[in-house]
Amino acid sequence: MRSSMLKVTALVGLIAALSCPAFARADIISNLIRYWKFDETVAGPVVDATGNSDGTNYGATIDQPGERDRAYLFDGVDDYVDTNSVAIPATGDFSLFAWVKTSQTESQGSIFSVNAGQSGRANLAIDNGKLAWFHKGGVGFVQSSMDINDDVWHLVGITRLSDTFTFWVDEGSELVGTSYAAIAVDENLVLGSKASHDGLWFDGLIDDARVYGRALSADDVSELIPEPGTLALLATGLIGLLCYAWRKRK
């Protein structure tokens, strides 16, 4: 029994040691330049938790069950949120991330957009069920291989690190392409439709939208996904190990 307890202690220590470096490396705070939580329960500004630029809601249904607290529901017909700011740098590194829950099957339902038909226009969208990016004069239209229209919450995003654009869906990533071309910075960033709000309507829930003025790393992205608490993990591990020790003893 004593050796079993020693094994348990050693394994718990190992689990703790393995889980700690990931927490130490990840950073989801630095250079967060916009953060719309969509937690509003009464009509009013779409609050930017960074204090930089509250958005304006044009028709999305607020106070819906979210991935984190409350979310906004976009009807795929004419709902959008204007963030009242440009937000994405023309040529610098950036990250766009949001949680979405949708079963949309049509082409190009825009999640984030600075596309008003102008040169350098861009949008991150759901296209035939998959995450897609369009950048006129840059990488063009690129559809990922990752499905996101199964009506469960997915973290979706795009990062630009120098010339390299990367798709993110939950813990997975995929190369979009490379380009040094500038993104248009003459239109406000809009969620739920084109920046000109005349098409590319998104049909589903959007929650916890963030813009960073840097490219998040894989560790950073993992940190955006809620995990069971460390204590819960340790307790689960302990119970499993105790059961193993008990069975061995018998």
Instruction: Residue 175: name the closest of 203, 152, 151, 143 by CA.
Output: 143
Which pair of tokens denotes residue 226? 């809620």
Question: Half-sphere exposure of residue 250, counting CA atoms within 13 Å on the CB side?
Answer: 5
Determine, following the binding rule CB under 5 A, whether residue 101 of this chain makes contact with Ca ion. Answer: no
Amino acid, single-letter form, for residue 95: S
Position among 35, 38, 80, 167 found at the interface with Ca ion (CB under 5 A): 38
Position among 4, 68, 85, 238 found at the interface with Ca ion (CB under 5 A): 68
Stretch that binds Ca ion, among 12-20, 32-40, 83-91, 101-109 (CB under 5 A): 32-40
Position among 33, 34, 35, 37 found at the interface with Ca ion (CB under 5 A): 37
Determine, following the binding rule CB under 5 A, whether residue 220 of this chain makes contact with Ca ion. Answer: no
**Rounded least distance, CB 38 to Ca ion, Å:** 5
Stretch that binds Ca ion, among 44-52, 70-78, 116-124, 230-238 (CB under 5 A): 70-78
Number of residues assigned to the chain: 250
Nearer residue to Ca ion within complex by CB, 43 or 231: 43
Q: What's the CA dihedral at 241, 242, 243, 244 to 10 degrees? A: 50
Quick one: angle between helices 230-249 and 2-25, nearest 10?
160
Q: How far is CA 84 from the centre of its chain?
A: 20
Note the residues at the interface with Ca ion (CB under 5 A): 37-39, 59, 66, 68-69, 75, 78-79, 207
